[in-house]
Structure 1
């Protein structure tokens, strides 16, 4: 690794908005310190050690620390971890709670009907898996990476993709620090840093800010199904020890959602009398009055769920969009100088509600391709070995079997359940037909005049809560004097289109109270953006019907700080 003053570099790469930027050189730069990015970093260093070569590897993480922005169910399939770090148990990986029981319930407003164990398809069987905190596993993976010599820069957000003169990706630049809300440098100003690499791996998670730009620049989504998403909302609770069953895994479908809206819930029992309870709503819903946050609050009041939570204490809250399109929505994975990895590409298996094993596996596959290319003396070309090895992997086989899951479930609860059961239980996923996604999530909202408003009950402060108290326990914080990271292409659209046509859906689809319509002094409506509340879930960037809201990276270190999530 070398450091140099970037003032002598090409203007588009070396000169930022506020003047010259210093640069650092690596063999591989990895954007995102989640499971995918850390798996890639670990694999690269493992391969280098095996070959006895030096390899400079850097991981950029926008959260204040590794794991700070990680929120997931999670029940983890350890298959990929077995491959990455076979001695993970001896190394102290935080996989301590094996799954002991699976339950799947179909909920009506007051009742619950359990699916018999013999009827559960394999995708809902979790024998051999573990109930985990993915945030804690990510912190542990960070420790393993650092022990191997990976340089991890937490609190530094990759804000810009850098390109060589031939158009290949050269690396990334971190965001400036100390820019005021007015866009001018303050006394605390520090320019961003450029990180140059022979290959750059993008592992930002679902709806990555830089991945969106790369997809547009290189046409990575040309000819594939649109990506579709779910919004996952989660709380961590401490419950009565008498109600705690370590390893119990409960999933539900049905109430409170109507049968035409895709979604479901999870309730996982960890150790230490903790349970993780969450709700996923497919962002392809059509009624603009629907609020995923409020549906989650209603769900917790169901008799089959409240029995676990009553008398307990809510500890933490978080939310994150997940890429649920599956195999048919995967973009082209590589481009000159880099690759998309993990949920930045959309490798989550929605039928299993699992993505961490896919993130680890694709991180390893991308790392192998990059290492082999470097050893062959190549740089900045397309890592074609990565998608080729994916197509030969067990992960591709798994995703291929589940390729129709989200498409069927998007056709309604009853038909979807019937067809998924047929495909997964009776035919083992080996079917000759393939369904396709036809619409992106932002295209599916109907005008409010065609829909029925939904009356949600007020929170009781015991089982159900409001947004602001929820954001408070996510430990979310952003420096107040910085440019807003939730930007509008056209400031008139929220009122002129979203409010008038769709009844202002951004005030409901955001799970953090970022967007609200208020009156100005002239008694006219305006959209107020409370960017301080943002938990970086990316829902607004996905669901805004006019695609007028664009999420850009805030200062590094901002956002939630999730403990044990």
Structure 2
């Protein structure tokens, strides 16, 4: 059957900070120039913010450019950072508090806010709708549509009510086509349509492979006597360095006696026995962490991959008929440990190119090359350029020497060292065979400070319609048991933070089981599988986590 189609000037995939900033800025510029522009934003989550997970300490620079009166508008930036602390965890009990002098300058958080980005995005969606943007949550963009000449034509939303066997159920609803003169892809890190576009148009031909981290986060309600609203804590070292991994921890004292805690594990680790989830649980047992958590209650859990390669890994962001923006391209500033303000700025710059092109008429509906110029002339480019060596330092020299080099680069040279470190090996390709790697004996959870995966996934409110095609697809069904298990002890059992992948032993030998209902859409499997055999595609709309205030 031919799908129903709707026509817009601009379709935006993803109601995160990049997509919503683009939508708002398009409508602002349209009003200034008295242009009639129709904009539609589709979001696969059940509501705006349902799939948004970030630390988060927000630098309000881009927000203030987009809405100079954001405070009067009631933006949910309620907790200004009042103090920074940075720890070097030397062991499971030891820690050194580093003086501010030893912290890279961009890491300081003066003037920033501890926020729930889910709530910030909900507020931004309200601003977008007030400006005339049509926002449709619960609709998953499953397919890129193309014109005959190869230009992007728009997207199609996924069918609903298809059984696991591929048959139409009584609830079947066909997806719709959303056609646009320009389509902006703002799916977040490792967007599955963005990944296809990068490959189709060769957008990464001149860039390093993207590099990633896995961020695992919990929200705790803690004893008011232990709460210090506005305190921001970052740390590195233990436990990750024991397994040869890199990354860092955070603990943010938000409002309402809550703390946001998490661990980011760089996905370039080589030991297949590493479990980022278990590393996070271990970090929570450190005295500098437990002193806040003891007597508290864990109220939310989630996980999400983040793109941390910086400008060296940034693909070309424009192509015929559309743009990649935000973390779909990889605009996060790794030194600042922040990607929300850069994602917002990328969306605003995209809006300028789109509105200019629409004003010129249909003949301009091709490749928005002006976007590259807009980015290069902005503070976004300056930020990414001066932090370009972060991944190179950390990956080539390890966490200790790498951190020292980053300090020298940022505090002495201002990010302008006369060289650029390249890191051309993809994260999945560094995995060593299990037989050559140290096994790790992770402690059992105590169900007070540390927990198991399934208990954690329950707190993410993750839900998928069970009778639907599995959205975690395998290129070759034989690889997990035939290749990954004997070579790497099938690391999917450990890198997934949601217990999606299991190796089950039965009378017929080992078999690979995928528990797709548990998936929190973090994308780690699509990134880290050493055989690159797992391909994440979007499930039915409304599926996945439902984060209330992550």
Range class of TM-score, shorter chain? over 0.9
**C-alpha separation between the residues in 2 aligned to 1:164 and 1:492?**
36
In the alignment, which residue of structure 2 is the partner of 1:475?
461
Q: Does 1:291 align with 2:275?
A: yes
Alpha-carbon contact 1:324-1:406 (below 8 Å) kept:
yes
In the alignment, which residue of structure 2 is the partner of 1:393?
378
1:257: how far off? 1.0
**C-alpha separation between the residues in 2 aligned to 1:142 and 1:520?**
49
1:55-74 residue CA offsets vs partner (Å, 9 max, x unmatched)? 11000000000000000000
1:521: how far off? 4.0
In the alignment, which residue of structure 2 is the partner of 1:530?
515
1:435-446 alignment runs, 5 A limit: 435-446=421-432
Query: For structure 1, which runs of at least 5 residues remain unmatched after alignment?
Result: 1-18
In the alignment, which residue of structure 2 is the partner of 1:82?
64
1:118: how far off? 2.5
In the alignment, which residue of structure 2 is the partner of 1:254?
237
1:518-558 residue CA offsets vs partner (Å, 9 max, x unmatched)? 02442x11110000000000000000000000000000010
**C-alpha separation between the residues in 2 aligned to 1:404 and 1:121?**
13
Alpha-carbon contact 2:145-2:155 (below 8 Å) kept:
yes
1:10-29 alignment runs, 5 A limit: 19-29=1-11
In the alignment, which residue of structure 1 is the partner of 2:413?
427
Q: Does 1:57 align with 2:39?
A: yes
**C-alpha separation between the residues in 2 aligned to 1:227 and 1:200?**
23
1:418: how far off? 1.4
RMSD: 0.8
SS for the counterpart of 1:20 is coil
Q: Does 1:97 align with 2:82?
A: no
Alpha-carbon contact 1:231-1:280 (below 8 Å) kept:
yes
1:51: how far off? 1.6
- Give the alignment partner of residue 220 of structure 1, picking from 203, 219, 223: 203
SS for the counterpart of 2:233 is strand
1:119: how far off? 2.5
Which segments of structure 1 move beyond 3 Å, counting only runs of 4 or more? none
Q: Does 1:272 align with 2:256?
A: yes
**C-alpha separation between the residues in 2 aligned to 1:256 and 1:79?**
34
**C-alpha separation between the residues in 2 aligned to 1:251 and 1:241?**
21
Alpha-carbon contact 2:11-2:182 (below 8 Å) kept:
yes
In the alignment, which residue of structure 1 is the partner of 2:336?
352
In the alignment, which residue of structure 1 is the partner of 2:96?
113
In the alignment, which residue of structure 2 is the partner of 1:517?
503
1:265-304 residue CA offsets vs partner (Å, 9 max, x unmatched)? 0000101000000000000000000000000000000011
SS for the counterpart of 1:258 is helix
**C-alpha separation between the residues in 2 aligned to 1:340 and 1:209?**
12
Q: Does 1:211 align with 2:197?
A: no
**C-alpha separation between the residues in 2 aligned to 1:535 and 1:414?**
32
Q: Does 1:362 align with 2:346?
A: yes
Alpha-carbon contact 2:43-2:139 (below 8 Å) kept:
yes
Query: For structure 2, which runs of at least 5 residues remain unmatched after alignment?
Result: none
Relative to the length of structure 2, the TM-score reads 0.98
Alpha-carbon contact 1:512-1:533 (below 8 Å) kept:
yes
In the alignment, which residue of structure 1 is the partner of 2:13?
31
How many residue pairs end up in the alignment?
A: 546
Relative to the length of structure 1, the TM-score reads 0.96
